[in-house]
């Protein structure tokens, strides 16, 4: 299936209530299961990933298929590693290409019984009841692969007989997501100590406290992109907190450099045009990698030079997002390439550059690469001229109502 997207005018007006954050929702479900007590979770994400988490976390036996849900797979690996019963945890073909070895090694070190059923270091996994859980009580994990591995270990830590000390090896990626985990653990009554490279969590109980999930800043980034490309904009997004635990809340500041103003209400924000549009946007996305695709497309659409770093995790997401951006931006005359070596001399970071200004005659067709963020990052180009998005259903992974919300804002969507 393909969607042809077009908007007859380039004026953006309306109100959108964004779905709950998938990242926060999955952590809340994990903590509720670990607490062993019921409590209310409001504004839970309706994403496929969260639905998978909610339906699978209570199962004790059988083959559990998470599909393409990476966060769900990693959290459930840690959760089931501490439980009685036996599960085969599997997923989509892409999931079987995403490394899980560092998490499995750490869980085995504290007594988990996990076997690889196909390729060593990758899903699917056979998870059996643990043997001597919690011994030893200190482990070292690489911090350079995925913060989700560390978050998964930390959330089970208070339920282990001796708690857990997690020593981080190397430079931490996506630190904002790790802090989100720790903040939520503290909300539910769990204390921790984080000093230098060591995080210590003692044996203690989670408290059952009702919880409201903040709306999703990753989803908000696509609406900011729409506003940036519109000639006029007056858009209200509800459910977002000014003081947010989400790294993607950097969206508001980033788009302020592209001529957008954010005005805060009690539990909402208003996006309008105004302010200077910078000729270059430089940013380190290490704390907010999920909005890198959005910013790359918008920079290309506006003819703004983008200089991006902190993209280390993009190649192991739902697709190799760096290669996918190169492929698809090239269709509209925009390049996304590794920056010359002199950019890295002072910082040692790897930089990528967005150069050119998007233009096209016939509607370009953008494949989704089985990646929800590819579909939604490229959709805002339709403010300028019609485009085609392939496999549009993929947005269900994180934002099921994305196309519905576009229609409410004046888009025409035709199945082609």
Percent of the chain with pLDDT over 70: 99
Last residue of a domain, one of 212, 240, 272: 212
Distance of alpha carbon 378 from alpha carbon 358, whole angstroms: 12
State the DSSP string of 283-344.
EEGGG-GGGHHHHHHHHHHHT-EEEEE--TTGGGSSS-HHHHHHHHHGGGT-EEEEPPGGGG
Distance of alpha carbon 74 from alpha carbon 363, whole angstroms: 38
* Residues 239, 180 share a domain: no
Average confidence score pLDDT of the chain:
93
Q: Are 9 and 36 in contact, with CB atoms under 8 Å apart? A: no
* Residues 170, 41 share a domain: yes
pLDDT digits (tens, 9 = 90+) for 276-286: 999 999 999 98
pLDDT digits (tens, 9 = 90+) for 72-120: 999 999 999 999 889 999 999 989 998 999 999 999 999 999 999 999 9
pLDDT digits (tens, 9 = 90+) for 353-404: 999 999 999 999 999 999 999 999 999 999 999 999 999 999 998 999 999 9
> Which of 248, 290, 391, 405 is flagged as catalytic?
290
pLDDT digits (tens, 9 = 90+) for 22-31: 999 999 999 9
Query: Does position 254 have pLDDT exceeding 70, yes or no?
Result: yes
Q: Average pLDDT in the 342-362 region?
A: 87
* Residues 365, 221 share a domain: yes
* Residues 154, 14 share a domain: no
310 versus 231: which is more confidently predicted?
231
Q: Determine the pLDDT at residue 209.
A: 97
Last residue of a domain, one of 150, 182, 212: 212
Q: Determine the pLDDT at residue 172.
A: 80
Q: Average pLDDT in the 111-139 region?
A: 92
Per the structure, the complete domain to which residue 371 belongs is given by 2-20+214-415
Domains: count for the chain: 2
Check if 290 is active-site.
yes
* Residues 402, 331 share a domain: yes
Query: Does position 344 have pLDDT exceeding 80, yes or no?
Result: no
Tell me the two tokens of residue 341. 């070596």
Tell me the two tokens of residue 246. 């989400």
* Residues 295, 247 share a domain: yes
Side-chain half-sphere of 168: how many Cα atoms within 13 Å?
24
Query: Does position 317 have pLDDT exceeding 90, yes or no?
Result: no
Quote the pTM value: 0.86
Torsion of CA 396, 289, 219, 152, to 10 degrees: 60
Query: Does position 136 have pLDDT exceeding 80, yes or no?
Result: no
**DSSP-based three-state secondary structure for 89:** strand
Please give the DSSP secondary-structure letter assigned to residue 95: G
Sign (positive or negative) of CA dihedral 97, 98, 101, 107: negative
Candidates 196, 237, 232; CA nearest to 214 is: 237
**DSSP-based three-state secondary structure for 356:** coil
Distance of alpha carbon 152 from alpha carbon 142, whole angstroms: 13
pLDDT digits (tens, 9 = 90+) for 175-191: 888 999 999 999 999 99
* Residues 257, 159 share a domain: no
* Residues 166, 124 share a domain: yes
**DSSP-based three-state secondary structure for 270:** strand
Query: Does position 20 have pLDDT exceeding 80, yes or no?
Result: yes
């Amino acid at each position: 299936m393909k969607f042809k997207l077009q908007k007859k005018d380039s004026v953006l007006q309306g109100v959108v209530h964004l779905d709950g954050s998938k990242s926060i929702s999955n952590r809340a479900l994990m903590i509720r299961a670990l607490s062993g007590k019921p409590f209310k979770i409001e504004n839970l994400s309706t994403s496929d990933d969260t639905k998978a988490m909610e339906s699978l976390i209570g199962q004790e036996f059988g083959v559990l298929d998470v599909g393409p849900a990476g966060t769900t797979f990693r959290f459930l690996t840690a959760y089931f590693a501490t439980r009685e019963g036996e599960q085969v945890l599997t997923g989509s073909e892409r999931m079987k290409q995403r490394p899980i070895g560092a998490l499995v090694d750490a869980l085995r070190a504290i007594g988990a019984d996990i076997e690889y059923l196909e390729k060593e270091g990758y899903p699917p996994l056979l998870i059996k009841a643990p043997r001597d859980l919690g011994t030893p009580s200190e482990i070292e994990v690489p911090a350079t692969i995925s913060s989700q591995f560390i978050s998964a270990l930390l959330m089970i830590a208070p339920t282990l007989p001796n708690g857990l000390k997690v020593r981080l090896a190397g430079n931490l990626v996506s630190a904002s997501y790790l802090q989100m985990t720790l903040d939520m653990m503290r909300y539910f009554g769990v204390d921790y100590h984080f000093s230098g490279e060591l995080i210590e969590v003692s044996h203690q109980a989670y408290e059952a406290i009702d919880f409201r999930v903040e709306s999703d800043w990753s989803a908000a980034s696509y609406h900011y992109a729409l506003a940036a490309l519109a000639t006029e904009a007056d858009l209200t997004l509800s459910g977002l907190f000014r003081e947010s635990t989400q790294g993607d809340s950097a969206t508001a500041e980033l788009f302020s450099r592209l001529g957008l103003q954010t005005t805060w209400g009690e539990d909402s924000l208003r996006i309008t045009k105004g302010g200077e549009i910078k000729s270059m946007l430089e940013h380190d996305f290490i704390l907010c990698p999920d909005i890198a695709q959005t910013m790359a497309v918008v920079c290309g659409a506006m003819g703004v030079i983008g200089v991006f770093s902190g993209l280390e995790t993009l190649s192991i997401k739902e697709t190799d997002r760096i290669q996918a951006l190169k492929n698809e931006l090239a269709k509209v005359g925009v390049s996304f390439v590794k920056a010359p070596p002199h950019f890295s001399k002072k910082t040692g970071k790897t930089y990528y550059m967005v150069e050119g200004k998007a233009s096209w005659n016939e509607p370009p067709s953008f494949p989704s690469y089985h990646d929800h963020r590819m579909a939604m990052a490229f959709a805002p180009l339709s403010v300028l001229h019609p485009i085609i998005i392939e496999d549009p259903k993929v947005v269900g992974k994180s934002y099921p109502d994305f196309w519905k919300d576009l229609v409410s804002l004046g888009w025409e969507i035709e199945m082609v």
